[in-house]
Structure 1
Amino acid sequence: MKILHTSDWHVGKVLKGQSRVEDQIKALASVVEVAKAERPDLVIVAGDLYDTASPTADATRIVTRALSALRSTEADVVAIGGNHDNGPALDALRGWAEAAGIILRGSVKAPTDHLLTGETRDGEEWRLVALPFLSQRYAVRAGELFDLTAAEATQTYADHVARLIAKLAEGFGDDAVNLITTHLTVVGATMGGGEREAHTIMGYAVPSTIFPASAHYVALGHLHRAQQVPGPAPVRYCGSPLAIDFGEEENLATVSIVDVSATTTAKVRDIPIEGPTPLRTVRGSIDQLSTLDTGDAWLRVYVAEAPRAGLREEVQALLPRALEVRIDPRMLPEAGAARQRVERSGRSPGELFADYLSQKGHVDEATVTLFNELHGEVVK
């Protein structure tokens, strides 16, 4: 059978105040084009369809249309909730999804709800453990649904997830392709740059050994960099089809195409996603920045100039697509450098403010003058 594995769409993401709706539409349109060309039997969307738990109507429209378009390729489509998604809200869409032939699993319920079965166009059977993201707070509650003992309920987050997957994988057999999809951090994997830190710390990390050797492929979401993780079965993150922020600008936006059968090892191909506006970091002085050809990229700019009033505006006049402007750290005083203690007694606020700016490496007469004017107006 052939599987298209995608994840971490983050529809509705706004970058430094800039809407990226058009880029998200282009990225998902490219994913659909890959599905049309590859004709997979199964599409797995491994969580984080949305960027927030309260998506806008436009974001909901984009996601539902993308899922419908993937289903129109005649592939079975399964999508699970991620840590950015509102699981119960996704479950509320299950009526629409079932009518459209799409399987949604937003939050963890009874075991029977999470072991899915199907058949390819050629009659090959598959089984899929579809486990949405679990927060630590809900891990114990989910365990109760799976009839864990009191002793088991006091285990770590990794233990909880391992027991849930083991329970669901009891339905695996030699007569079908056995698959798992879930949304979490696996120990040893490399961060992609844009994941929510609270859900990538070690308290949320699980070892790849929680996945059974009987699984033919494990389709993961959450880390935005495409990568294989060593484990008892093929364990893979497909990456995100769109760079979420500047921390991901070096990531290759991809989806994974997996060829596998009940008797053969999974073979994976990463297919690049093209079309969205790139993200780019540039550095230099004002003169250097004025010579750059940055195309249509959204920019993060590190300015190699001493801080001064109006510098940000100068940069944005040169580079209108600069979403973030920072002083190059090399232009700032060394961290931890000794500071001369300022004696406050008998000195004016303007003098103290000028000393403060000097300590910060921001010596600019215009800023001091503006401070004095504003201070004078306040104390009148």
Structure 2
Amino acid sequence: MKVLHTADWHAGRGLHGVDRTGEIKEALEELAELVKVERVDLVVVAGDLYDNRNPSAAAEDAVYRFFLDVGRAGAQSVIIAGNHDSPQRLDAVASLLGLAGVHAVGAFRPAGAGGAFELNVGGERVRVAALPFLSERRMIGAADLIEGDHAAQQGSYRETMRKLVGNLTAGMDGKAVNLLLMHTTFEGASLANSEYVFHSTNSYTVPASIVPEAVTYAALGHIHKPQGVQGLAEGKARYPGSLLQLDFGEAGSERSVVVAELRAGRAPEYALKPITAGKRLKRAVVAEEELDRRALELAEFPGWLKLVVKLQRPRPGLKERLQRDLPNLLAVEQQLPGEDATDEPGFDPAALDLVAAYRDYLGEERGADGQQELVAAFAGLLEEAVT
């Protein structure tokens, strides 16, 4: 059985005011063609189909056309909601998507209520365990569904995730291809600097041991850099990465999807297939005295540009002047003496963990008194505000 694993499309995403839905549409058309060329039996999308919970009509059109196209080609699909998707919105269209051979899981469901199911794919019996993204706030409700109490209030995020995975994968054996879909961060994952940091920090990480031995392949989403999982056998679990270079922190990184050959009781065999659609991103650091010469060179670059210009003093209107010669220039950062560029590799300007910062503040101001309840309330309010 041949599976194509992808995730983190972020349809509807913009970049410095530019709508990139057209690029996503081109990438999905390339992906659909790859499904046909590779004779893929099953497409797996591990969350973040969209960039926000109320995507544009154009973004939905691009996504739905993809599933119609691969459905006509004879491939089934399984999709789960990520932290950027609306679980309710995805569940609302699940029946319609089913007409195209798509099995959609938006909100968490226990094994007996649709979170685990069997498919016949390419003559193979496939058991699917679908675990969409769960915030700490929603995890309480998920734990209620499998245990009937507020277990998540007593245990950590990872402990409850282990219980949920156990519920969904119970009964898996070596007689079927066992697929686990998750949208989460595993310990040791390398971020691409374009993920939403609040849902990618230590409190939201899970260990490799959460994946049962019986799982043939764990199809993961959430991390935008292609990689495996530390502590698991090569090929047992993969992040395919985002479909496009989403931010200038990803400039220079290649985009790909996973195509895996899966058989019951055997280790996966996989290959990374490059995705060439979508504009590439380039970030260039330029000294003021070299600006005119470098601008001539950069004018040939067909993708989106960001310039970091080293100056002795601020120059108002610099971006507007440069854009006359560089129509693909989206951002200009003026770097003065003693300043560092804000998106040097390895630095994420949005990396501050606000919950951890609030916890530290309370510890200094109030000690341990009432800290746990306040931090939980703050985390819930923050999540509502940003999602």
TM-score (norm 1): 0.84
What are the equivalent positions in structure 2 for 1:183-222 lying under 5 Å apart? 183-222=183-222
Deviation per residue, 1:117-172 (Å, 9 max, x gap): 11222x22111101111011001110111125555651111111110001111120
**2:297 counterpart of 1:292:** yes
Deviation per residue, 1:355-376 (Å, 9 max, x gap): xxxxxxxxxxxxxxxxxxxxxx
Task: Determine helix, strand or coil for the equivalent of 1:308.
Answer: coil
The separation in 2 between residues aligned to 1:100 and 1:68, in whole angstroms, is 6
**2:311 counterpart of 1:305:** yes
Structure 2 contact 184–205 (Cα < 8 Å) conserved:
yes
Give the aligned partner of residue 86 of structure 2. 86
Do the aligned partners of residues 243 and 334 (structure 1) sit closer, same or farther apart at CA in structure 2, a change above 3 Å counting? closer
The residue type paired with residue 136 of structure 2 is: Q
Give the aligned partner of residue 99 of structure 1. 99
Structure 1 contact 225–252 (Cα < 8 Å) conserved:
no
* Worse overlay, 223-232 or 143-152: 143-152
The residue type paired with residue 56 of structure 1 is: S
**2:280 counterpart of 1:278:** yes
Task: Determine helix, strand or coil for the equivalent of 1:265.
Answer: coil
The residue type paired with residue 15 of structure 1 is: L
**2:332 counterpart of 1:320:** no
Aligned pair count reads 332
Structure 1 contact 31–273 (Cα < 8 Å) conserved:
yes
Structure 1 contact 212–232 (Cα < 8 Å) conserved:
no
Structure 2: 5+ residue stretches without partners: 341-387
Task: Determine helix, strand or coil for the equivalent of 2:297.
Answer: coil
The residue type paired with residue 292 of structure 1 is: E
- Aligned-residue offset at 1:232: 4.4
The residue type paired with residue 297 of structure 1 is: G
Task: Determine helix, strand or coil for the equivalent of 1:9.
Answer: coil
Give the aligned partner of residue 373 of structure 1. none
Deviation per residue, 1:187-209 (Å, 9 max, x gap): 11111221111111111111111
The separation in 1 between residues aligned to 2:169 and 2:295, in whole angstroms, is 59
Do the aligned partners of residues 150 and 314 (structure 1) sit closer, same or farther apart at CA in structure 2, a change above 3 Å counting? closer
Do the aligned partners of residues 173 and 273 (structure 1) sit closer, same or farther apart at CA in structure 2, a change above 3 Å counting? same
Structure 2 contact 133–184 (Cα < 8 Å) conserved:
yes
The separation in 1 between residues aligned to 2:19 and 2:108, in whole angstroms, is 32
The residue type paired with residue 98 of structure 2 is: E
**4+ residue segments displaced more than 4 Å:** 148-153
The residue type paired with residue 131 of structure 1 is: L
**2:68 counterpart of 1:68:** yes
The separation in 1 between residues aligned to 2:148 and 2:3, in whole angstroms, is 33
**2:268 counterpart of 1:266:** yes
What are the equivalent positions in structure 2 for 1:156-235 lying under 5 Å apart? 156-232=156-232, 234-235=236-237
Deviation per residue, 1:333-366 (Å, 9 max, x gap): 458xxxxxxxxxxxxxxxxxxxxxxxxxxxxxxx
What are the equivalent positions in structure 2 for 1:120-139 lying under 5 Å apart? 120-121=121-122, 123-139=123-139
Structure 1 contact 300–322 (Cα < 8 Å) conserved:
yes
The separation in 2 between residues aligned to 1:71 and 1:161, in whole angstroms, is 32
What RMSD over aligned residues (CA atoms) do the two structures have, in Å? Answer: 1.6
Structure 2 contact 127–172 (Cα < 8 Å) conserved:
yes
The separation in 1 between residues aligned to 2:295 and 2:232, in whole angstroms, is 53
Structure 1 contact 143–153 (Cα < 8 Å) conserved:
no
Greater Rg over alpha carbons, structure = 1
The separation in 2 between residues aligned to 1:153 and 1:203, in whole angstroms, is 14
Give the aligned partner of residue 249 of structure 1. 251
- Aligned-residue offset at 1:61: 1.1
The separation in 2 between residues aligned to 1:162 and 1:251, in whole angstroms, is 32
The residue type paired with residue 248 of structure 2 is: F
What are the equivalent positions in structure 2 for 1:17-96 lying under 5 Å apart? 17-96=17-96
The separation in 1 between residues aligned to 2:302 and 2:150, in whole angstroms, is 57
The separation in 2 between residues aligned to 1:255 and 1:245, in whole angstroms, is 18
Structure 1 contact 211–231 (Cα < 8 Å) conserved:
no
Structure 2 contact 80–132 (Cα < 8 Å) conserved:
yes
The residue type paired with residue 156 of structure 1 is: S
Structure 1 contact 8–221 (Cα < 8 Å) conserved:
yes
Give the aligned partner of residue 116 of structure 2. 115
- Aligned-residue offset at 1:248: 1.2
The separation in 1 between residues aligned to 2:253 and 2:301, in whole angstroms, is 19
The residue type paired with residue 260 of structure 1 is: L
Give the aligned partner of residue 337 of structure 2. 332
Structure 1 contact 208–235 (Cα < 8 Å) conserved:
no
The separation in 2 between residues aligned to 1:41 and 1:87, in whole angstroms, is 25
